[in-house]
């Protein structure tokens, strides 16, 4: 991993972007910095992702957003996915792994990726590691947002009043999403814990306080 003294990370990203393409190509694979922003439904992954990608120049890959865009376009994939999403269940692994594989292919020049809502099962984690290995890179850190269940439910039902998201406006579906998280997704943290890559960060407090904590953890690892 490269060391650049006290220069801040945003400068590092900008310097890298201003280098000639051939230099970026030679150095590229080693400079990618990939993060998983992990947490239960409503923990603030989307909110924090927007701020993090802007600060660190990363490409945001949210499987939830990709699936919702397929639904809006009424593609066969979107129509199939909707059946699962409306019930608060996970979409089958092969569907989301295929979407992420295409997204990685379509962004060959990215400085790094911020994965939001992916991986969500152990099979997805293993698939992601293999896809990144093909690009000669890996996950640097899994930032796991910690929020109480009471707060998650309150946030999601509140958002359901205005978001138009069919999986937010019904308490039963919101609870089903949280059950699905405990049943299948919490195993993702255990998987990355075995590689010593998980850092738990409080997801309660103001958006800016949480953002500062996340940046602090990233800056410790990104040089």
Per CB under 6 A, residues contacting ligand AP5 are: 39, 41-47, 63-64, 67, 84-85, 88-91, 96, 117-118, 120, 124, 155, 159, 167, 177, 207, 210
Residue number with CB closer to ligand AP5 (34 or 43): 43
> 33-52 mask for Mg ion (x: CB under 5 A)?
------------xx------
Helix H or strand E encompassing 61: strand 59-62
Secondary structure letter of residue 27 according to DSSP? H
Active-site residue flag, 45: yes
Secondary structure letter of residue 2 according to DSSP? -
Helix H or strand E encompassing 34: strand 34-38
HEC secondary structure over 70-92: HHHCCCHHHHHHHHHHCCCCCCC
Q: Kindly identify the residues of this chain, within the stretch 176-205, that bind Mg ion according to CB under 5 A.
A: none
Q: Which of 51, 55, 165, 175 is catalytic?
A: 165
Residue number with CB closer to ligand AP5 (28 or 88): 88
Cα angle 66, 125, 1; round to 5: 100
- Torsions phi, psi for 149 (to 5 deg): -65, -40
Active-site residue flag, 87: no
Judged by beta carbon distances under 5 to 8 A according to partner kind, the member of Mg ion, ligand AP5, none in contact with residue 43 is: ligand AP5
- Catalytically annotated residues: 45, 120, 159, 165, 177
């Amino acid at each position: 991993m490269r060391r650049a003294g006290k220069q801040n990370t945003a400068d590092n990203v900008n310097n890298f972007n201003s280098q000639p393409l051939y230099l970026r190509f030679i150095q590229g694979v080693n400079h990618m910095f990939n993060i998983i922003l992990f947490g239960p439904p409503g923990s603030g992954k989307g909110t924090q992702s927007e701020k993090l990608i802007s600060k660190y120049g990363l490409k945001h890959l949210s499987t939830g957003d990709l699936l919702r865009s397929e639904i809006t376009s009424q593609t066969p994939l979107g129509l199939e996915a909707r059946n699962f999403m409306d019930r608060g269940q996970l979409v089958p692994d092969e569907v989301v792994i295929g979407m992420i594989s295409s997204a990685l292919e379509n962004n060959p020049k990215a400085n790094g990726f911020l994965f939001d809502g992916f991986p969500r099962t152990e099979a997805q984690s293993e698939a992601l590691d293999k896809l990144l290995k093909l690009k000669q890179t890996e996950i640097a850190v899994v930032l796991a947002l910690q929020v109480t269940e009471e707060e998650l439910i309150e946030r999601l039902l509140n958002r359901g009043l205005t978001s138009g998201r069919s999986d937010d406006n019904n308490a039963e579906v919101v609870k089903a999403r949280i059950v699905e998280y405990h049943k299948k997704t919490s195993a993702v943290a255990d998987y990355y814990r075995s590689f010593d890559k998980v850092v738990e960060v409080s997801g309660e407090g103001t958006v800016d306080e949480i953002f500062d904590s996340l940046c602090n953890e990233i800056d410790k690892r990104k040089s």
